[in-house]
Amino acid sequence: MALWVDKHRPRELSKLDYHKEQAQHLINLSQQGDFPHLMFYGPSGAGKKTRIMCLLRELYGTGVERLRNETMTFTTPSNRKIEIMTVGSNYHLEVNPSDAGIHDRVVVVDLVKHVAQTHQLDPTGQREFKVIVLSEVDELTKDAQHALRRTMEKYVATCRIILCVNSTSRVIPAIRSRCLGIRVAAPTIDEIVGILSATCKKESLTLPNELAVQIAHKSERNLRRAILMVEACKVQQCPFTSNQSIADLDWQVFLKETANQIILEQSPAKLEKVRERLYELLSQGVPPDVIFKGLVENLVRNCDITIKAETVKLACLYEHRMQQGNKHIFHLEAFVANFMAVYKKFMNDALMLDEF
Amino acid sequence: MSHIPTEEEMFELMYDDELDIEMEMERENRAAEAQQQEDILSQVTVTDTPKQLPSGSSDHRPTDRQLNRRLFDNSSYAASGSSTPFVANSPKPLTPLTPFEPLRHLTSTQNQPSSQGPFGARKRCIEELFGDIHDIDDEDVRGAIKRQKTEEEIDLEMIERILELRKKRTVEERPTNCDDNDRKEALHKFKQHNLSTSIPKYPFIPVTSDGDRIYIRFHSEDFEDERIREIQCGKSVGSLMSTAAREAMWARANEMMAHRLITLTKPDVMTDNLVVNSSEEIPAVVTTDDSVDPNLWVEKYRPKRYLDLLSDESTNRNLLKWIKMWDKIVFQRDIDVKSLKKETVKFQQFKNFRRKERNTLNSDYDAHGRPIQKIALLCGAPGLGKTTLAHAIARHAGYNIVELNASDDRSPEAFKLALENGTQMKSFLGKDNRPNCIILDEIDGAPKQSIDFLIKFIGDNVSNKGKNKAKHFLRRPIICICNDMYVPALRQLRQEAFVVDINQMESGRLADRLQTICRREKVIADYSALLSLAEKSGNDIRSCLSMLEFFSRLGKPLTLIEVLQNDFGQKDMQKGLVPVLETVFQITNPRRTIKEDDKSSEKIISSADSSMKTRVDCVLDAIHMFGDYNLLVNGVYENYLTKKMPDPNMIGTAEATEWFCFTDRINQFINHRQNYSVYSYMQYGFVAWHLLFASLMWPKIFFPKQGFEFTKKANVNKAVVSSFKKGSCVTTRGVDDDRSAILDTIPLLRKIISPVIRTVSVELMCPKERSDLVHTVEVMVDHGLEYHHIKKQDGTFQWKLEPDIGTLCDFDCGFQPSKNYLTVQMISREVQIEKMRRAAPKFDGKVATKERRAGKENVPNHLRTLNLNSMANEERVTKLISKDIFGRVSTKSVPISVQDGGTDAIIKSSIWYKYKEGFNNAVRKDVTINNLL
């Protein structure tokens, strides 16, 4: 527990730093002893997992913190063995079914049934139900989500399911309606600054307010990122100064450079270079929607006001199509090519106007 | 042979295969002259036959045989002893390419099966030296001129000469052979009309022998005479025989053929020679229409000699060289290696510039005097004449051919037997005892085990079992033939073998040959039609000949329209990925097509049609043949940007990318729903790309590998992430799911664990450095990271992070963690110590105190002995409570036996001495891991 992110993570609902009203609601919910399926949704780094763990602790006591890693093996209908890592205690099980890729349906069906069908023999010491935490449910295939919806109803007596989702838009409505949605919004800049200062204080360091604000902005209100950044800053330069450089994320720098190259030159040869960079990003595991977002942000920042709307429209179109397709690189390149065409046309028009 | 070769003979030895070819040609010239005489000879017999036949004597059998012998002048034929020669016809007498068979007997060439003698394997040498004495004068003059030139020039001249002679020969052959053929054909037809094995419609006399029945036609005396005169007359006039009588004959032949086709239900009648007609009462054997020849044209016109070969000259020569290299061991005859070497080098440069390294003939010998490449592998598309080439060349070099093809049993055992029989034995039953040459046809279909055996076999790794320990080794050439040399089973063979690629021949050359055949077979065909036929079939000689035969049976003249209109003959060729991509990116030369005029419904041949429609059709055809759209899409995707752009405004490119998205979505839809109804829309992307990017220039296509490399790299990175996640401790929840791990944790973690630390010992560090170090070590241990010491290729050592998150999120622009060797070494050491420290305390702290509390003395190791498990000891079993890594309590009972003699001071001390013979570690001390940390 050496990373500050883990070390200073709040463990009880009452000790949460922000969304305190919501925390109170959760306490009330857990005190009733029973609750429906929950769905925590919100952007990455907002504290969904933290809240889930706090809630579980509220329910079962400190026993949930005795975690262990387990590797479960599933067999697909096509006789392929899939290994899934799970983290669990005696009371709950946490799993990321989307690790199984297109075979996630098997994981959902087998795992949930396996856990849910075992009744608690002696319910005196604990609750009558176990909890399954499913993370990244929005990454699940439609098949898996459909498999989930019936199981959720069927085994409601013995298990509760807590879903952890980035965006509800990719969760099928059937599941959404079966869950109590809890939105965990990203912390505001002020909240982040407060948390960063408090963390540094615990580490007996002093963090200048300006630096904290800068980091908070740079982290895009992602608390995990912000804390990691502070830690990286500390490694770089220990007594903090207010104007010290903040560690950049490499992929962000790379994306920005890519966008600049697109603006610089619009030609097939350039497009090929851009493709290589996109391949590089994808192969490193950067999700394609993040690439889309990063590109659009940087492009829009640099281009003329008249084609900003057009750019965003194109990005929307191709991002949507990418979800329907399989080869992300095609759609990314299509977006870049179309932007190039739009940009080129705009530039040519501008030149024409100048000549007249 | 104690013969010291003269200079001329040396020369002959050096260039013997050229000489072979020349000799062959001269023989033919002489044969052509002699043919005149033969013609006259056979004329006499022809005039005799019809007169004898109608006499219908009861002792017909000798007559028949006599007739036969006179007709075909083939002594071997009589020996076959068939009572009905028209039924079981030997192909030999009717092959027009060798009309001077008898003469060749006399000249006793090496290729003739009849030229057997007691000389055995050395027969060739003798022939070479003495056989063609009368040629020497002629040869001598030429040789003298030649010797002054360089070898390369000689080679070139040789090739030219061969080609020239080949042309000359075809020219020569045409009139004579046609003439000869006409006559034979007419005669045959005459016979056909007069003799029949089934009950004919005309008046007849049945003749019976051995249950076979032949019906002989009744004709008036006048008619006979007239017909005979006709035939004779036809001969003398030559190919100008186009009288009314001939027309009538032609018509009758056609009529008969048509009749045959209707009556015989079996559709493949042309391929079968014998069809048993069981429906009739009399069990008669019916020959299929042998108005022309019982053989298919494909067989009939199969090149019999080296000179007849149609394939590329340099390819032929290369293979010939290879097989000649075997002469050293097979015929105990030296050939000049040097000249070979030069020629191979030259042939490499000659024409085939794309030839790769493995295709070159290695002209070195191994210890046994065999060529290094002990096996030749011919590969090429079907119908290019691989089998023919192999047979012709093996025969030319004087081998007896043992063929093993897909129709034979090719299980490893059978294969082994066949190979051993072929290479180690000699046939004594046959008429000659030439050495064998094994031809393994269609080897790409053979089972892997058999091919493995073959490789072992040629590598001489097959030792005979049993007493006979003498190692077998290969002494005979083996030629393998395959269509697809990239079959996985052939991979190893490909490396060992001398690979000969049979390329497509030029359409013109094939059309020339087809024209010759047409003329000989009296098929009216114009050259353009033949040319387009050749193009249509992808220069597949076999299919061209079959088509021609088909047309000839139809009796229609072959015109361009016929060729273009008919659907058959179109070869369904599987092209490689790159050629298909080339068709997508290139506006190909328009092929001749047929257009239907709507108004007059007339067919117009349009040759210069490069309209949109034809281009689209062409592209669609090509991609249909290939089939794998996904691979093609990848290919187009990785090539389209380098192609000529339609406009500088990127509009075309943008449109092309639209199509990529479209195909991708359709593909995903199909894969997801298993709904193939939209599959046909996949193809139109290629049309769009073709219209956008195709140009008349030859496109340079790169094989698509970017996507593949990307997937490989992505998989590696994925594996690193998952091992990182597995390695990290349960309590570190900062590593969340993959996404946030890649986006946030790992890039920043890389920075956190690489602090700037001076390379000084821990004691000399400033507080900041020390805290950084401690922090780094903690983080690394938490996440299961450690440095491994590895040796680089250049011999230096390096520390490598494991799992290597350094490669993850590694973009060029980003920061580079300090890789100071000494710093990393220090960190690594600290990490190892920290790991031990974390593992240790669970047993150190609590267990020790428990033990102390129990009042038991720590017994030194050397005092512990195994005791009997007595009752007294059972009481001493102490329950030890230990905790596992996660702090859970686990109890286990550890039996501790204590010896009573613990009072001794020496024994109590932690250092003791005990003499033990043969050991040098007599002084021992208890050291716990804690003391080392």
The reply to whether A284 and A221 lie within a common domain is no
**A267–B650 CB contact, under 8 Å:** yes
The least confident of B76-85, B165-174, B735-744 is: B76-85
Pairing mode, if any, of strands A180-183 and B478-482?
A: unpaired
Alpha-carbon gap, residue A200 to A231, rounded angstroms: 9
Reported as a pLDDT band with limits 50, 70 and 90, residue B639 is confident
CATH number of the domain that residue A37 is part of: 3.40.50.300
Of B671, B748, B775, the CB nearest to A247: B748
Q: Which residues 736-755 in chain B show a CB within 8 A of chain A?
A: 736-740, 742-745, 747-749, 751-752, 754-755
Distance CA B297, CA B547 (A): 10
Does domain B505-571 sit in CATH 1.10.8? yes
- Non-local (6+) Cβ contacts of B427 within 8 A are B400, B433, B436
Rounded Cα distance between A34 and B873, Å, is: 54
Any domain includes A346: yes
Q: Are residues A270 and A131 in the same domain?
A: no
pLDDT of residue B324: 83
Find which of B138-152, B632-646, B892-906 is predicted with most confidence, using mean pLDDT.
B632-646
Residues of A in contact with B660 (CB under 8 A): 327, 330, 333-334
Quick check: B311 pLDDT over 70? yes
**pLDDT of amino acid B199:** 61
pLDDT of residue A331: 94
B-contacting residues in A 40-79 (Cβ below 8 Å): 44-45, 49, 53, 66-69
Quote the pLDDT of residue A333.
93
B669 CB within 8 Å of a chain A CB: yes
Confidence of residue B918 (pLDDT cuts 50, 70, 90): low
Peptide bond into A239 cis (omega under 30): no
- Which amino acid makes up residue B871? M
Last residue within a domain, chosen from A150, A167, A183 = A183
Using a CB–CB cutoff of 8 Å, tell me whether A337 touches chain B: yes
User: With 80 as the cut, is the pLDDT of residue B889 above it?
Assistant: no
Residues B83 and B81: their CA atoms lie apart, in Å, by 6
pLDDT tens digit sequence for B667-687: 999 988 888 898 888 888 899
Cα separation of A119 and A128, whole Å? 8
- B527 pLDDT tier (thresholds 50, 70, 90): confident
- CA B565 → CA A312, B508, B556, B559, B605, distances in Å? 55, 21, 14, 10, 10
Does the structure show a pLDDT above 70 at B26?
no
pLDDT in the model for residue B572? 57
- Find tokens 């070869």 and name the residue: B571
**CA distances to A104, A285, B581, B720, B722 from B715, in Å:** 18, 9, 28, 9, 10
Per mean pLDDT, which range of A141-150, A175-184, B759-768, B906-915 is the poorest? B906-915
d(CA B621, nearest CA chain A) in Å = 25
pLDDT score, position A337: 92
Looking at the structure, do residues A274 and A179 belong to the same domain, yes or no?
A: no
**Is pLDDT above 70 for B80?**
no
Which residues does chain A have within 8 Å of residue B883's beta carbon, measured at their own beta carbons? none
Judged by CB atoms closer than 8 Å, whether chains meet at B740 and A99 is answered as no
Nearest to B778 among A2, A45, A275 (CB): A2
Residues of A in Cβ contact (< 8 Å) with B737: 96, 135-136
Residues A110 and A255 in one domain: no
Of A111, A82, A14, A8, the closest CA to residue B733 belongs to A8
| Number of domains present in the structure of chain A | 3
The answer on pLDDT for B599 being more than 60 is no
pLDDT for B297: 78
What was the pLDDT predicted at A181? Answer: 92
Specify the pLDDT at position B99.
41
Range among A297-311, B105-119, B121-135 rated most confident: A297-311
Same domain, yes or no: A119 and A31: yes
Q: In one letter, which amino acid is B624?
A: H
- pLDDT tens sequence across B127-171: 444 434 444 344 444 444 444 545 666 667 777 777 777 777 666
Are A216 and A305 within one domain?
A: no
The predicted model gives B251-269 an average pLDDT of 56
A102 and B CB contact within 8 Å: no
Q: Where in chain B is the domain with CATH 1.20.272?
A: 574-704
Contact A333 B779 (CB under 8 A): no
pLDDT at A40 over 90: yes
Q: How far is A248 from chain B (nearest CA, A)?
A: 8
**Mean pLDDT, rounded, for B243-258:** 65
Pick from B378-387, B389-398, B732-741: least confident: B732-741
Q: What is the ipTM of this complex?
A: 0.89
- Residue B316, both tokens: 């032929």
Phi and psi dihedrals of B743, rounded to 5? -75, -40
Residue type, A200: C
Q: How far is it, in rounded angstroms, from Cα B57 to Cα B59?
A: 5
The answer to whether residue B704 scores a pLDDT higher than 50 is yes
- For chain A, percent of residues with pLDDT exceeding 90: 31
B786 pLDDT above the threshold of 50: yes
Query: B283 or B697, which is more confident?
Result: B697
Q: Which comes out higher in pLDDT, residue B493 or A51?
A: A51
Same domain, A18 and A154: yes
Query: Of residues B869 and A20, which shows the higher confidence score?
Result: A20
> Chain B window 101-120: which residues touch A at a Cβ cutoff of 8 Å?
none
Q: Which structural domain range is residue A136 located in?
A: 4-183
- Check whether B738 has a pLDDT greater than 60: yes
Using a CB–CB cutoff of 8 Å, tell me whether A86 touches chain B.
no
CB contact under 8 A, A2 and B775: yes
Tell me the pLDDT tens digit for each residue of B542-571.
Answer: 888 888 888 777 777 777 777 766 666 555
Which residue out of B712, B733, B758 would a mutagenesis test of the A interface target, given it has the greatest number of A Cβ atoms within 10 Å? B733
Contact B661 A330 (CB under 8 A): yes
How many Cβ atoms from other residues are within 10 Å of residue B715's Cβ? 11
Against a cut of 0.80, is the pTM above it?
Answer: no
pLDDT at B357 over 50: no
B924-929 contact pairs (CB < 8 A, 24+): B924/B862, B926/B860, B926/B861, B928/B844, B929/B836, B929/B840
| Cβ–Cβ below 8 Å for B664 and A285 | no
Window 879-908 of B: residues touching A by CB (8 A cutoff) are 886-888
Q: Is some CB atom of chain A closer than 8 A to the CB atom of B823?
A: no
Question: Nearest CA to B389 among B541, B249, B528?
Answer: B541
What integer pLDDT is reported at residue B904 of this predicted model?
A: 60
**Looking at residue A248, what DSSP letter applies?**
P
Q: What is the pLDDT of residues B429-483, one digit of tens each?
A: 555 667 888 888 888 778 888 888 888 887 766 554 444 444 567 778 888 888 8
Q: Is A309 on the interface with B (CB under 8 A)?
A: no
Q: What is the mean pLDDT of residues B787-816?
A: 75
In the numeric block, the tokens 């009752």 are attached to: B871
Give the pLDDT confidence score for residue A24 in this predicted structure. 92
The CATH number for B574-704, chosen from 1.10.10, 3.30.420, 1.20.272, 1.20.120, is 1.20.272
- B664 or A243, greater pLDDT: B664
In a domain, A244, yes or no: no
B661 Cβ under 8 Å from any chain A Cβ: yes
Is pLDDT at A132 greater than 80 in this prediction? yes
Among residues B258, B846, B302, B900, the alpha carbon closest in space to that of B542 is found at: B302
Tell me whether A280 touches chain B (CB under 8 Å).
yes
For the residues of B95-132, what is the DSSP string, one character each? Answer: -TT-TTHHHHHHHT-TT-TT---TTGGGHHHHIIIIIT
Question: What value does the mean pLDDT take over residues B259-267?
Answer: 51
Amino acid in the structure at residue B914: K
Burial class (CB in 10 A: 0-12, 13-18, 19+), B375: buried
pLDDT of the residue at B919? 59
**Which string of DSSP letters, residue by residue, matches B371-424?**
BSS-EEEEE-STTSSHHHHHHHHHHHTT-EEEEE-TTS--SHHHHHHHHHHHHH
Least confident residue range of A202-211, B283-292, B371-380, B764-773: B283-292
Average of per-residue pLDDT values in chain A: 87
Query: pLDDT higher for B367 or A108?
Result: A108
Tell me the three state secondary structure of residue B152: helix
Mean pLDDT of the residues in chain B: 66
Average pLDDT (B520-541) is 78
Strands of B118-273, DSSP E = 195-196, 204-209, 212-217
- Output the CATH code of domain B309-501: 3.40.50.300
Q: Using one digit for the tens of pLDDT, what is the confidence trace for A73-101?
A: 888 888 888 888 888 888 888 888 888 88
What proportion of chain B, given as a percentage, has pLDDT over 70? 49
**Could you tell me which residue, B125 or B808, shows the higher pLDDT?**
B808
| Contact: B886, A68; criterion CB under 8 Å | yes
CATH code of the domain in which A343 resides: 1.20.272.10
> Contacts of residue A250 in chain B, CB cutoff 8 Å?
747, 809-811, 813-815
pLDDT bucket at B846, cuts 50 / 70 / 90: very low
Helices B337-349, B151-194: crossing angle, 10 deg rounding: 80
Angle CA B917–B921–B924, to nearest 5? 120
At residue B890, the pLDDT reads: 53
β-bridge pairing B878-883 and B889-894 = antiparallel
Q: Is residue A356 part of a domain?
A: no
Among the three residues A236, A271, A298, which one is the final residue of a domain in this structure? Answer: A236
Closest CA of chain A from B562, distance in Å:
46
Q: Let me know if residue A277 belongs to a domain.
A: yes
CB nearest B782 (choices: A2, A253, A326)? A2
Q: Are A12 and A46 contained in the same domain? A: yes
- Say if residue A311 is in the same domain as residue A265: yes
Give mean pLDDT, residues A14-29.
90
The reply to whether A266 and A139 lie within a common domain is no
Beta bridge partners of A269: none
Q: Tens digits of per-residue pLDDT, B175-198?
A: 444 455 555 556 566 555 665 556
Chains A–B, number of C-beta pairs less than 8 Å apart:
213
Q: Do B732 and A1 touch (CB under 8 A)?
A: yes
Q: pLDDT-based confidence at B358, cuts 50/70/90? A: very low
Residue A126 has a CB neighbour count (10 Å cut-off) of 15
Residue B772: closest C-alpha in chain A: A235
Residue A351 at interface with chain B, using a CB cutoff of 8 Å:
no
**Minimal-distance CA residue of chain A relative to B744:** A225
Backbone angles phi, psi at B311, to 5 degrees: -70, 170
